Copies of this chain bind each other. A is one copy, B any other.
Amino acid sequence: MNNAFTTISGAKRHNRVTISDMAAALGLTKSTVSRAMNGYPDISETTQLRVKRMAEKLSYQPLSHAQAIKTGRTRSLGLILQLSDHDAQRPFLAEFLAGVSAGAHNEGWTLTIAASENHEDMIETFRVLLRDGKADGFILPRAMRDDPRVRLLREAEVPFVLFGRQDDDTDCAWFDILGEDAMRNAVMHLVALGHTRIGYINGGTQYAYAGLRKQGFLQGMADAGLPIDPDLIAEDAVTIKDGAEAASGLLDSMHPPTAIVCAVDFAALGVYRAAAERGLTIGRDLSVVGYDGIPEGAHTQPPLTTFSVDNKSAGERLSNILIRRIRGEDLTNLRETDMATFLDRGSTGPAPSSKN
């Protein structure tokens, strides 16, 4: 540890253009350059223009961590991924990251991420990143109902944006996909195929999306004038195994469904498994609709009919919203939604004629 400071030569001290270089080149002082760059009102229009032109010419960019020492802000977004739950987040991670990164990069921001195993680590990581000013704001994937991260960030008065909506929206910026619309459309699609006994397998009820999607399903059933059979509704299925177990419950009930809507694709794959065990052919004996658009869904037999989410675009918009939030934009402009895209593949078909 004693010789810890004899390090490899860091980045070549490229003659980076500093604010002093700018000042010298313009015949101004550092302070004027700084205020011009930051658009202070006490700098004349013409001077500001001169400065910015020169910045362009010399390709001057203030060093973010030099600014940070005074301002506390470092032009970087924080993203904390919780990886303990093997949830549906993983297949999208690459796209999502690509989007978030692109959104940040577009504005000249960077992205610092921390992946934590469990909840305690995640909170601790938040603390450290906040304390050390490693991020000016946070993107919170997978909004939970009564989210502890939200409480923490609110308390600390740190900007954040949710992927998903929360019950208590006050001072929350968010972006979300209208999963409830998708669920309702799923029901309508099945009804059009003649199904009347439609089951529903919900996702993790700790997450905000579950309530919404379930509402969407119920709404669809109501719209179609179909009754709700509590035996045909399951909760908390986020893995294939969960889905298989939930589906088993529905299929072994007194009056099994002819179709099942799943809040999560993995659960839908579980339905495949449960169906196979019972000799049921998906798309003929049993229709299944999923949600998420995971890649595996394209390779199953038959391919899964589902709603696909553009996670890259979601990430990009989240970055964008967060940056605007940090810049102090009004909250009302910082709540956006998008729709999932229906992929009509092979896992749905006409309701089998009842020959029970």
Report if A283 contacts B (CB, 8 A): no
CA distance in complex: A43, B335 (Å): 55
Oligomeric state, in copies: 2
Contact present for B129 and A110 (CB under 8 Å) = yes
Scan residues 7-37 of chain A and give those whose CB is less than 8 A from a CB of chain B.
Answer: 7-14, 16
A132 within 8 A of B: yes
Q: Which of B81, B83, B110 contacts A114 (CB 8 A)?
A: B110
> Are the C-beta atoms of A66 and B63 separated by less than 8 Å?
no
| Residue in B12, B101, B133 whose CB lies within 8 Å of A65 | B133
A355 at interface (Cβ–Cβ under 8 A)? no
CB <8 Å contact, A113 and B101: yes
Contact with B along A40-68 (1 / 0, CB 8 A): 11000000000000000000010111101
Q: Are B295 and A158 in contact (CB under 8 A)?
A: no
Instruction: Give the top 7 A-B pairs by smallest Cβ distance, nearest first.
Output: A65-B65, A9-B156, A11-B157, A101-B115, A98-B115, A7-B328, A65-B68
Given contact pairs A7-B73, A10-B133, A61-B131, a sample of 10 additional A-B residue pairs in the complex whose CB atoms are under 8 Å apart: A1-B39, A5-B152, A5-B155, A11-B130, A11-B158, A13-B72, A63-B132, A81-B94, A105-B114, A112-B112
The 25 sampled A-B contact pairs (Cβ below 8 Å) are A3-B328, A4-B39, A5-B38, A5-B40, A5-B155, A8-B130, A8-B325, A9-B130, A9-B157, A10-B71, A10-B72, A10-B131, A11-B156, A13-B133, A16-B131, A64-B134, A65-B133, A66-B69, A69-B69, A76-B134, A81-B98, A110-B112, A113-B113, A296-B296, A296-B299
